[in-house]
Chains A and B, each alone.
Chain A
Amino acid sequence: MTALLSLAINFTLACIMLAMMLCVVRLLLGPAAQDRVLALDTLWMCAMLLALALGMRFGNLIYFEAAMLIALTGFVSTVALTKFLMRGEVIE
């Protein structure tokens, strides 16, 4: 049973990293700027889940702090990018 649990945690890490690679694909070839912002938003969400899964993999609660910081800064950066896209391509 314990081998199954560690296998499930490794499977979670692999799936989240594959999802991050797909987000990077959309970030690189997104046709419009809002596609890139959406891909970046999904990318930090996957990074937060990756930090949580790493914390379960190593049995350490310090990864929770990293996940909390990624969640906070990702929200602020996405809001800033969308407000920038609303105003235009040039920084005022």
Chain B
Amino acid sequence: MSPDFDNLPLWVSLPVTLLLVLGSLIVLIGAIGLVRLPHFFQRIHGPAITVTLGAGCILIASMVFFTALQSRLVIHELLITAFILLTAPVVAMLIMRTAVYRDLRARRRDGKTESNEVYPFSPDE
């Protein structure tokens, strides 16, 4: 069951196509960054790109597409947009604070330091 794309005008299908290709490429780049980057505090930047730019592009494309397909204003994707924009910084801050806390706790346990960590080890702690 595929929708009838035939009655979509050109001014709808062209920006929807561009937004979809841009958003999916940004999502893919974020996932590649999640896999390829060497350290945890560098890897957390990839999903940030995915959450903000990729999801934003695909949500705008979905809004424009359904507005043109159903010939009425369909903007309830704004609910997901607002929710994601509210919760993404909270999630990123929680994961980063967890990583810092766990690094400090592991270093306190075995006393070793690594050169590429965020907080360098000082012996008077």
Interface residues of A (CB under 8 A from B): 1-2, 4-6, 8-9, 11-12, 14-16, 18-20, 22-23, 25-26, 32-35, 37-39, 41-42, 45-46, 48-49, 52-53, 55-61, 64, 67-68, 71-72, 75, 78-79, 82-83, 85-86
Contact = CB atoms under 8 A, between A and B. Distances in A.
Interface residues of B, number: 58
| Prevailing SS type, chain A contact patch | helix
A85 B98 contact: yes
A57 B97 CA distance: 39
B28 A79 contact: no
| Prevailing SS type, chain B contact patch | helix
Contact of A49 (B6, B55, B66, B79): B55
B31 A23 contact: yes
Contacts of A41: 47, 91, 95
Given A4-B17, A78-B94, A16 B27 contact: yes
Interface of B: 1-6, 8, 10, 13-14, 16-17, 20-21, 23-25, 27-28, 30-32, 34-35, 40, 43-44, 46-47, 50-51, 54-55, 58-59, 61-62, 65-66, 69-70, 74, 76-77, 79-80, 83-84, 87, 90-91, 94-95, 97-99, 101-102
B2 A59 contact: yes
A33 B4 CA distance: 46
Contacts of A72: 83
Given A41-B91, A61-B66, A86-B101, A4 B31 contact: no
B65 to A, nearest CB: 5
Nearest to B26: A15
A1 B32 contact: no
A82 B94 contact: yes
A53 B108 CA distance: 46
B51 A45 contact: yes
A45 B120 CA distance: 33
Contacts of B17: 4-5, 8
Given A37-B95, A46-B50, A12 B21 contact: yes
